[in-house]
Amino acid sequence: MSTSDSVAPHLYAEPFETSRAERQADPDKLLDGFLCACEIAADLLVCISGMVSAFWLQHYFHLGGESPVRVQQSAALFLSVAFFTVFFLYRDGMYRGGGLLQIRTTENVLRASVQAMLIMFVFACLFGLQSATGTLLIAIALVPVLLIMGKYVFMLSTRHLRRQNNVVLYGVGDAVKRILSALSHIHDPSLNPVLIIDDDRPHAGESISQIRHWQDRLVQTRRGPISAALLHSCQCNTLVVALPNSTPDKVHAAIQAANQAGANVAFLYGTELGRQPFTKTVNLDGLSLVPLYKPGTNRCSAVVKRAFDLAGASLSLLLLSPLQILIVILVKLDSPGPAIFCQERVGYRGKHFKMYKFRSMHTNATVYDVSPVTSDDPRITRIGRLLRKTSLDELPQLVNVLLGHMSLVGPRPEMPFITHSYTAEQRLRLQVIPGITGLWQLSAARAFPIHENIQHDFYYIRNRTFFMDIAILIHTLFFALNNGI
Buried/exposed 357-390: b ≥16 CB within 10 Å, e otherwise = bbbbbeeebeeeeeebeeeeeeebbebbbbbbee
d(CA 485, CA 360): 14
Mean pLDDT value across residues 449-475: 83
Mean pLDDT value across residues 228-251: 80
The C-alpha torsion from 104 through 437 and 319 to 465, rounded to 10°, is -40
Rounded to 5 degrees, what are φ and ψ at 307? -60, -40
d(CA 304, CA 200): 50
Which of the residue ranges 128-142, 145-159, 334-348 would you say has the lowest mean pLDDT?
128-142
Largest separation between any pair of C-alpha atoms in the chain: 79
Which of the residue ranges 143-147, 248-252, 271-275, 317-321 would you say has the lowest mean pLDDT?
271-275
Half-sphere exposure of residue 132, counting CA atoms within 13 Å on the CB side?
A: 25
Secondary structure class of 207 (helix, strand, coil): strand
d(CA 409, CA 248): 39
Q: Is 423 left (phi over 0), alpha (psi -120 to 50) or beta?
A: beta
pLDDT at 443: 75
Which residue from 157, 54, 50, 159 is spatially nearest to 109, judged by alpha carbons?
A: 50
* Whether pLDDT at 112 is above 90: yes
Which of the residue ranges 8-22, 186-200, 215-229, 344-358 would you say has the lowest mean pLDDT?
8-22
Rounded to 5 degrees, what are φ and ψ at 420? -60, -30
Which of the residue ranges 331-335, 420-424, 472-476, 480-484 would you say has the lowest mean pLDDT?
480-484
Respond yes or no on whether the N-terminal peptide bond of residue 225 is cis (omega within 30° of 0).
yes
Integer-rounded Cα Rg, in Å, for the chain is: 25
Chain centre distance of CA 232: 33
* More confident call, 60 vs 257: 257
Identify whether the C-beta of residue 474 lies closer than 8 Å to the C-beta of residue 388. no
Mean pLDDT value across residues 53-78: 74
Neighbouring residues of 351: CB distance < 8 A, sequence distance ≥ 6: none
The C-alpha torsion from 65 through 70 and 73 to 79, rounded to 10°, is 100
* More confident call, 466 vs 370: 466
pLDDT at 63: 65
Does the pTM exceed 0.75? no
Chain centre distance of CA 132: 35
* More confident call, 63 vs 459: 459
Identify whether the C-beta of residue 446 lies closer than 8 Å to the C-beta of residue 2. yes
* Whether pLDDT at 215 is above 60: no
Which of the residue ranges 59-63, 249-253, 261-265, 461-465 would you say has the lowest mean pLDDT?
59-63
Domains of the chain: residue spans and CATH:
26-158 (no CATH), 164-274 (3.40.50.720), 299-482 (no CATH)
Secondary structure class of 245 (helix, strand, coil): coil
pLDDT at 17: 38
pLDDT at 270: 45
pLDDT at 434: 94
Rounded to 5 degrees, what are φ and ψ at 107? -60, -50
Identify whether the C-beta of residue 168 lies closer than 8 Å to the C-beta of residue 197. yes
pLDDT at 21: 39
Distances in whole angstroms, Cα of residue 326 to Cα of each of 156, 329, 355: 39, 5, 21
Mean pLDDT value across residues 23-42: 76
Mean pLDDT value across residues 218-233: 84
d(CA 446, CA 433): 20
Distances in whole angstroms, Cα of residue 32 to Cα of each of 45, 97, 158, 162, 459: 20, 10, 11, 8, 28
Rounded to 5 degrees, what are φ and ψ at 406? -135, 170
Which of the 8 DSSP states describes residue 69? P
* More confident call, 173 vs 367: 367
Question: Angle formed by the axes of helices 103-126 and 466-482, to 10°?
Answer: 130
pLDDT at 53: 92
pLDDT tens string 362-421: 988 887 777 776 777 888 999 999 998 888 999 999 999 999 999 999 999 999 988 888
Q: Is 207 left (phi over 0), alpha (psi -120 to 50) or beta?
A: beta
Going by their DSSP bridges, the two strands 340-346 and 352-358 should be labelled as antiparallel
Mean pLDDT value across residues 144-155: 90
d(CA 428, CA 180): 27
pLDDT at 9: 37
Which residue from 437, 428, 430, 433 is spatially nearest to 403, judged by alpha carbons?
A: 433
d(CA 416, CA 419): 5
Distances in whole angstroms, Cα of residue 93 to Cα of each of 40, 47, 87, 462: 12, 18, 10, 18
